[in-house]
Structure 1
Amino acid sequence: MKSLSYVLLVFVALILGGRTAEAHAIWLESSAQASKGQAQEVRVYYGEYVTAELEKTTDWYSDLRSLEVFVVKPDQSQIKLTLEDKGDYLLSSYTPEEDGVYLIYTTHPTKDLGGKTRYEFTSQLAVQVGKSTAAAQSKLPYEVKVAAKAFKKGDKVAISLTKDGKPVQGQDILLMSASGWSKTYKTDAQGIATVDVLWSGKYVAEFGHSEEASGTWHGAAYSATWQGITTSFSVK
């Protein structure tokens, strides 16, 4: 298995009970555009996107199956989605009631440590309803964002990386396509990684970062934290 730094994928080795397991990533999928009053489907996957490995939900790492997914509306109110286990993914839906940009997100620190590292899996994506520019504000410190639109082959796509709303420069963003292609891009002074999309289909981008930190988590001591943050978008 390929090690991935994945939004949905910084892939690291997890030491679990004397055995090594590859760390995958969580990513959300939903249409980038929706209509007011019509149900919008949301899916949650876990695996290695670039190698088309989708884990059965029964094989998801630690307690990832208990993650929660939220939708932030343009008026900044938030709803929690009800998830249905479909075997290969978790499924939900919501119905937009106003125009604007909605934000779907999940963030879940897993119960089990990987060695002495505490892991957190995060994914988010934006959905445009109507033409209003009123936009939901993220509740996450780090954000990996792509405009809520349908892209075409040959387009240049801007992937934004921010922390507390400020651009993060000089960091790696891993972009993956369903074709098995992947490439790492560096963010510029505005926190933007500009990427070329050469194939149709779904793309997943990820930023992974780790920090020295110490504490106790579910009764176990840790000395570092790792977070993988993903987003996805479609190309026609």
Structure 2
Amino acid sequence: MKSNSLQKVLFVILTLLFSASTFAHALWIETKAIGTKGKAQKIDIYFGEFSDKDITKTAKWFSDIKDFSLVLITPSKKEIKLTSTALEDKYQASFIPDEEGVYTVTMHHTVKDVYGTMKLDYNSSATVTVGNPSKGNEATANTNIISLFSKEITAAKKNGKITVNALYDAKIAKSQKMKVIAPNGWEKELWSNENGEISFTPLWSGNYMVEFAYTEKSEGEYNGKKYNEIWKMATYFIAVK
């Protein structure tokens, strides 16, 4: 009897640990912040643990995450759906800029399988500046329900202040917790101010990730399974010189 009880407890603990590691995983976009008119711009989509440099091989991406939607918003607000190709550890897409300004790349996917009682909703974005840094350079270019944005991403430098704006449901995300992850895995949690902004000063050069996760209490049924929460995450990649 005691043995059976112990096995049940261990099963519950292992299930919780597995669930926690699954939800900790993120989808994110990586691309160069500056592009060139007429030259192909590569976009890479990864899944895994950014802080641990633990990248999941595409053949092992769980559920239907590989079916994410990737959309390019041009400086003149045209929306173009991009097609990506599976490589060993990432999906890759590209586009050729044909006008000057700031292009916004958005990724979105709601996972078809409900995990426990939670519906998972992944969002990511990146901006590419081609020539004119003003046209199209605005947070609202991203139409995802949860998003992050930095207006001066091309100027991101070591020891220079970086400000990131957060939006939720097209509104400023006030008093929300964000996470900044440095190239060496160092993490810091920050709370957005009244303008939905967080600011940080990078101490190292390299690639940074900003994450914004929000859990919405909502009951329903999705693909035949009930849920009582919707977990939404936005990721934003910043290359610091």
TM-score computed with the length of structure 1 as normaliser = 0.89
Partner of 2:235: 230
Alignment of 1:18-57 (within 5 A): 20=19, 22-23=21-22, 24-57=25-58
Conservation of the 8 A alpha-carbon contact between 1:210 and 1:224: yes
Which of 192, 199, 209 is residue 194 of structure 1 equivalent to? 199
- What percent of counterpart residues are identical? 30
Looking at both structures, which has the greater relative contact order when contacts are Cα pairs under 8 Å and sequence separation is at least 6?
1
Task: Give the 3-state SS of the residue equivalent to 1:221 in structure 2.
Answer: strand
CA distance in 1, matches of 2:222, 2:170: 28
Q: 1:218 to 1:162 in 2, by over 3 A?
A: same
| 1:100-138 Cα distance to aligned partner (Å, 9 max, x none) | 111101110001111011001110111111115221722
Could you say what secondary structure the match of 1:50 adopts?
coil
Superposition map of 1:1-236 within 5 A? 20=19, 22-23=21-22, 24-135=25-136, 137-147=141-151, 148-236=153-241
Task: Give aligned pairs, total.
Answer: 223
Would the aligned equivalents of 1:125 and 1:146 in 2 still touch at CA under 8 Å?
A: no
Question: If you compute each CA radius of gyration, which structure gives the higher value, 1 or 2?
Answer: 2
Distance 1:37 1:85 in 2: 24
- CA distance in structure 2 between the aligned counterparts of 1:130 and 1:97, rounded to whole angstroms: 11
Cα displacement (A) at 1:230: 0.4
Question: What secondary structure does 1:82 align onto?
Answer: coil
Distance 1:111 1:61 in 2: 10
Give the CA deviation at 1:163: 2.6
Matched position secondary structure for 1:175: strand
2:66 counterpart SS class: helix
Q: Which amino acid aligns with 1:22?
A: S
Unaligned ranges ≥5, structure 2? 1-12
- Structure 1 unmatched ranges of 5 or more: 1-12
C-alpha offsets along residues 195-221 of structure 1, whole Å, 9 cap, x if unaligned?
A: 010111100100000011111111111
